[in-house]
Amino acid sequence: MDQFEKATTNSSAEWWRGCVIYQVYPRSYQDSNGDGIGDLAGIRRRLPYIASLGVDALWISPFFKSPMKDYGYDVSDYREIDPLFGSLEDFDLLLDEAHQFGLKLMIDLVLNHSSDQHPWFTESRKNRDNDKADWYVWADAQPDGTPPNNWLSVFGGSAWQWDTPRQQYYLHNFLVSQPDFNFHCPALQNALLDLTRFWLEKGVDGFRLDTINFYVHDAELRDNPALEIDQRNASIAPLVNPYNYQDHLYSKNRPENLYFLKRFRSLLDEFEGRACLGEVGDAQRGLEILGQYTEGNERAHMCYTFELMHAHPVTPSWIRQVFEHLNRVAENGWPCWAYSNHDVMRHASRWKLSDAALKLHATLLMCLYGSACIYQGEELGLEEAEVDFEDLHDPYGIEFWPEFKGRDGCHTPMVWEKTSVNAGFSEAKPWLPVSPDQQQLAVSEQEHVPESLLNHYRRAIRLRHQNAALTTGDMKILKSEGAILGFLRRTDKETLYCVFNLGDEAVDTSLPSGNWSDSGDVVGGAAIQEDGSLRLDAWQCAIVRKRGRNNG
The residues annotated as belonging to the active site are: 210, 270
Residues 9, 22 contacting (CB under 8 angstroms): no
Helix (H) / strand (E) element for 78: namely strand 77-81
Residues 106, 206: Cα–Cα separation, whole Å: 4
Q: In what order do the strands lie in the sheet with 138-139?
A: 138-139, 168-171, 160-163
Helix (H) / strand (E) element for 325: namely helix 316-329
Q: Nearest 5°: CA angle at 405, between 403 and 406?
A: 125
Residues 378, 94: Cα–Cα separation, whole Å: 23
Q: How many angstroms from the chain centroid is the CA of residue 87? A: 25
Question: What are the residues facing 500 on neighbouring strands?
Answer: 485, 541
Q: Where are the beta strands (DSSP E) in 405-473?
A: none
Residue 196, classed as helix, strand or coil, is helix
Contacts for 480-486 with beta carbons within 8 Å, 24 or more apart?
480/316, 480/317, 480/319, 480/320, 481/316, 482/316, 482/507, 483/315, 483/316, 483/507, 484/316, 484/509, 484/536, 485/316, 485/319, 485/320, 485/364, 486/512
Taking each helix axis as running N to C, give the angle between helix 186-202 and helix 257-268, from 0 to 180 degrees, rounded to the nearest 10: 30
**Which residues, other chains included, contact 447 with Cβ-Cβ below 8 Å and sequence gap of 6+?**
454, 455
Residues 336, 426: Cα–Cα separation, whole Å: 32
Question: What are the residues facing 173 on neighbouring strands?
Answer: none
Residues 470, 490: Cα–Cα separation, whole Å: 8
Positive or negative torsion for Cα 232, 238, 239, 243: negative
Residues 241, 400 contacting (CB under 8 angstroms): yes
Task: Mark residue 147 as left, alpha or beta (left: phi above 0; alpha: psi -120 to 50; beta: remaining).
Answer: beta
Helix (H) / strand (E) element for 458: namely helix 453-466
**Which residues, other chains included, contact 532 with Cβ-Cβ below 8 Å and sequence gap of 6+?**
510, 511, 516
Residues 97, 59: Cα–Cα separation, whole Å: 15
